[in-house]
A and B are shown apart, each in its own frame.
Chain A
């Protein structure tokens, strides 16, 4: 039987090309290196305010807020290994929502004293909002081990997901660490809620912890929300919005009745607006930072379901 040479060549070439393609393309496709993920959590000012809320039933001598669980220290080892004096390192600030911390380095420490000398808890509220930070202990430990140049924090942020901190850190000598760290500029400020504290803290008069440094807007928000009983809007998605112009006196009480912006178009919107009005009236006086009085003496709270 005579075989067409061109056919044979064609078949052979096809097999070759397809076979090559199968092998190379498929294997290439699987060679993608897994991206390292960077754990990032965003919490809002009012969430922070809730986290650091004090309790009216708390003890006076206990200035710290109730904090029963603290996020596990994050990219500790890798990041810290490269720390030097030049760029102080602060560990990842966001507590990831992990239900069970692998280890709780903090729970055996006394509450108020900080492991590091210059990190005495500050008694006065900080004007700057801060997020609860995990302990610096792992950093300190790492610092003790090596004093290399630190990476710029950018690299630090890229650090691999944290391996659990090593258990041996529990044995390190705090005083030595303190001495070591003393050479450095202060790198962080005391923040409430960073340490485990099973005792309720008294906090401020309105039930806020000592170091709650939320903005006045978030303060107002958290206060008025406690009085707001929203009407049930049914199971359909509705996007009601009720805005008011309100004038507050220095003592936080209303100078006049809140003025609603606009006339509600539907009965439900009217009911929604009225529920918001009730909340504003019922929740006064508002405890807002006096320093910002010029800002909050006249402003517009906007009650809405729209989450922007």
Chain B
């Protein structure tokens, strides 16, 4: 059979040759280079067997730690913990290398082995190793000593280690959330300040519920909370030490003070002060009690939030008509509007990473949670609905928590969502919950 080529075939042949010599296989440095571009961004399959009990009494805590880690990693959306029922090998000694073949067989790409041991002095020793199943390498390993009642905290710290080693990002599991717990009927809601671990466990109430509380915010030390309370007379900004329970009014101002937030160094509190029908931003040094005015406009300036470097702050103002987000130097000066979409923008909060500002957006009958860059570009809406409000960033800036109220006789509850808009998860709380604020990492 003779072979004759049409020009089209020649062209397509030349195209193939170009493909061959061009991108897929290039000659460089003597070796062919083959580009690989199409992988799946998929949750990493990880096996987390129960931690080995160092003494017979430690079996329960070993199971508990593995469950907390599994729950944390699963909720992050970046990991796919494998069901323990599928495990072939039972880890009994974490000092020997696991049989990687049996973990490969269940498609695990990472494996966590650990041991909990009660020490003679009553403390609990926690050890773990993180293995790469494909290469058989130990990726990380640590040991910790703690009081036995803090075993959950240890599990969160280990979760952070695993998360950081496998994603390249800081974790956020060893952190707390302060929020407003709501109980009772809609018209007579009792609102209390409550504190919990980020996964919804270890709930503690910080106020009794006699007075209405709003907008709690963590200090960078994680030991103090500033919030607004309707006591006798005008609403005031308070400071509360969560360990000692001590509280004090921040400053002594003639009118209402509200919407407080700590500066990144924890030395100052920035807030709004009411002046007639307007409100302006003030910052107060907590030691010297010196107060400085930052804005002076015939408008309502509120919800200030510092950039993590403390050099700038974002806030909400209706000076242009509708509430919009503005950015200004932390020392005062001209403010620049950054939100220009339809609707109004409120409750801006600067990411601890500095790369985004999260906000509540209201428009066309919907409340949405979104993020935008500090220059106002790259706006993206993460969730929309009847009522979503009050975003707060996880310590690593990758996850937002907010509250959602479905309306009717129901009440609000807390949700988390990745800043990509994926992986929305409800956060378990004892009752209705609103106004969450995420703490920095505890350690």
B-contacting residues of A (Cβ < 8 Å)? 42, 44-46, 87-90, 92-93, 118, 128-131, 152-154, 156-157, 185-188, 215-218, 220-221, 224-225, 228-236, 243, 245, 257, 266-272, 274-279, 281-282, 295-296, 298-308
Residues of A within 8 A of B34 (CB): 217, 220-221, 299-302
Residues of A within 8 A of B380 (CB): 235
Asked whether A44 lies within 8 Å of B135 as measured between CB atoms, the reply is no
Q: Whole-angstrom distance from the CB of A192 to the nearest CB of chain B?
A: 16
Contact indicator per residue, chain B 38-56, by CB within 8 Å of chain A (1) or not (0):
1111101100000000000
Q: How far is the CA of A86 from the CA of B90 in the complex (A)?
A: 73
Asked whether A93 lies within 8 Å of B8 as measured between CB atoms, the reply is yes
Q: How far is the CA of A298 from the CA of B417 in the complex (A)?
A: 45
Asked whether B109 lies within 8 Å of A229 as measured between CB atoms, the reply is yes
Q: Whole-angstrom distance from the CB of B372 to the nearest CB of chain A?
A: 12
Instruction: Give the residues from 339 to 397 in chain B that come closer than 8 angstroms, CB to CB, to chain A.
Output: 355, 380
Residues of B within 8 A of A233 (CB): 41
Q: Assess whether B248 is interfacial by the CB under 8 Å rule.
A: no
A267-B168, A271-B166, A278-B132 given as contacts; is B20 within 8 A of A234 (CB)?
A: no
Residues of A within 8 A of B41 (CB): 229-233
Select one of A89, A185, A276 contacting B36, CB under 8 A. Answer: A276
| Given pairs A46-B24, A130-B12, A300-B32, 13 additional interface contacts (CB within 8 A) | A89-B8, A217-B32, A221-B38, A231-B78, A231-B167, A232-B167, A268-B167, A277-B135, A282-B104, A299-B31, A300-B28, A302-B35, A304-B37
Q: Assess whether B169 is interfacial by the CB under 8 Å rule.
A: yes
In the complex formed, the residue of B with least CB distance to A236 is B355
Residues of B within 8 A of A229 (CB): 39-42, 44-45, 109
- A-B contact list, 20 entries, CB within 8 Å: A45-B20, A87-B6, A153-B8, A154-B7, A186-B1, A186-B2, A187-B4, A215-B19, A224-B36, A234-B419, A267-B164, A268-B168, A277-B134, A295-B32, A296-B32, A299-B33, A300-B33, A302-B35, A307-B37, A308-B35
Residues of B within 8 A of A216 (CB): 25
Residues of A within 8 A of B85 (CB): none
Q: Whole-angstrom distance from the CB of A211 to the nearest CB of chain B?
A: 14
In the complex formed, the residue of A with least CB distance to B109 is A278
Q: How far is the CA of A301 from the CA of B167 in the complex (A)?
A: 22
Asked whether A152 lies within 8 Å of B7 as measured between CB atoms, the reply is yes
In the complex formed, the residue of A with least CB distance to B20 is A215
Q: Whole-angstrom distance from the CB of B194 to the nearest CB of chain A?
A: 31
Q: How far is the CA of A89 from the CA of B6 in the complex (A)?
A: 6
Asked whether A93 lies within 8 Å of B23 as measured between CB atoms, the reply is no
Asked whether B16 lies within 8 Å of A299 as measured between CB atoms, the reply is no
In the complex formed, the residue of A with least CB distance to B16 is A129
Q: How far is the CA of A176 from the CA of B20 in the complex (A)?
A: 40
Residues of B within 8 A of A88 (CB): 4, 6
A89-B6, A231-B166 given as contacts; is B135 within 8 A of A281 (CB)?
A: yes
Residues of B within 8 A of A243 (CB): 33
Q: Whole-angstrom distance from the CB of A247 to the nearest CB of chain B?
A: 10
Q: Whole-angstrom distance from the CB of A303 to the nearest CB of chain B?
A: 5
Asked whether A299 lies within 8 Å of B32 as measured between CB atoms, the reply is yes
In the complex formed, the residue of B with least CB distance to A86 is B4
Residues of B within 8 A of A218 (CB): 24
Q: Assess whether B75 is interfacial by the CB under 8 Å rule.
A: no
Asked whether A230 lies within 8 Å of B24 as measured between CB atoms, the reply is no
Q: How far is the CA of A230 from the CA of B44 in the complex (A)?
A: 9
Asked whether B168 lies within 8 Å of A231 as measured between CB atoms, the reply is yes
Q: Assess whether B398 is interfacial by the CB under 8 Å rule.
A: yes
